[in-house]
Amino acid sequence: FGTLALWAVLGYLLGSIPFGLVLAKAMDLGDLRQIGSGNIGATNVLRTGSKKAAALTLLLDGAKGAAAVLLARWIVGEDAAQIAALFAFLGHCYPVWLNFRGGKGVATFLGILLALSWPVGLASCAAWLFTALLGRISSLAALVAAATSPLWMLVFGVTQALVLGGILTLLLFWRHSSNIARLKAGTEPRVGQK
Ligand code: G3P
């Protein structure tokens, strides 16, 4: 149990690094929480006008999720990897450094999936891309990618990750409550729109 608890803490700490916020500050793009949706993720970084900062945020927020899984798996094993994944996601969404007001977890979720099982991760990224190209709404693409991820786990036989995948999907939907309300009302902005 001690080892798993340690990986919960390490995963949380990795996940809690708010790369979007740090990059936006470092690149003089302003305080993300005062811009657009106020979120600290790549989609909102894009609203500052910097594609480079948005791409870097996507990459780094994804990499921290993947790193948590890969490190825990390499040093301990699959159980620790799943715990590290869950807590990295929680760290991103509820970072202690930001009064527990973090992001929505999309990039971190995709990074985690890629590290858990790259075919599942790739299929979810493809679902994101397909929906994003079709509708040009980042949150909708994220919801489709998350909702379809258990299906990819079944397709690729990664059933040991189904419970974790289900929990992460529910959390991701929860973190998108305001987006879901805007989607229903037809007021969710498209990518490139203010
Ligand atoms: O990555 C989060 C995305 O799904 C929605 O972001 O800023 O439009 O609420 P945002």
pLDDT in tens, 119-159: 999 999 999 999 999 999 999 999 999 999 999 999 999 99
Condensed to tens digits (0 to 9), the pLDDT of residues 103-130 reads: 999 999 999 999 999 999 999 999 999 9
CB 148 within 8 A of CB 104: no
State whether residue 133 is helix, strand or coil: helix
Q: Is the pLDDT of residue 192 over 80?
A: no
pLDDT at 1: 79
| Averaged pLDDT for residues 42-70 | 97
pLDDT of 64 reads: 98
Describe the chain by its helix, strand, coil percentages, rounded to 5: 75, 0, 25
Ligand 1 contact via 37 beta carbon (within 6 Å): yes
**Structure-token match 């996940």, residue found:** 15
pLDDT at 194 over 60: no
| The residue to which tokens 């970072």 are assigned | 95
Q: Do 65 and 112 contact (CB within 8 A), yes or no? A: yes
**Which residue's CA is minimally distant from atom 3 of ligand 1?**
139
pLDDT tens figures, 22-40? 999 999 999 999 999 999 9
Ligand 1 binding pocket includes 104 (Cβ within 6 Å) = yes
Q: Tell me which amino acid residue 169 is.
A: T
Instruction: Kindly state the tokens that stand for 108.
Output: 């971190």
Residue type, 1: F
Q: Would the ipTM clear 0.85, i.e. be above it?
A: yes
Task: Kindly report the protein residue whose alpha carbon is nearest to atom 5 of ligand 1.
Answer: 139
pTM for the whole thing? 0.95
Q: Whose CA is nearest to atom 7 of ligand 1?
A: 44
149 lines ligand 1 (CB under 6 A): no
Q: Which of 44, 124, 191 to mutate to test the pocket of ligand 1 (most atoms within 8 A of CB)?
A: 44
Residue type, 167: I
If one residue of 138, 168, 169, 171 were mutated to test the ligand 1 pocket, choosing by the most ligand atoms within 8 A of its CB, it would be 138
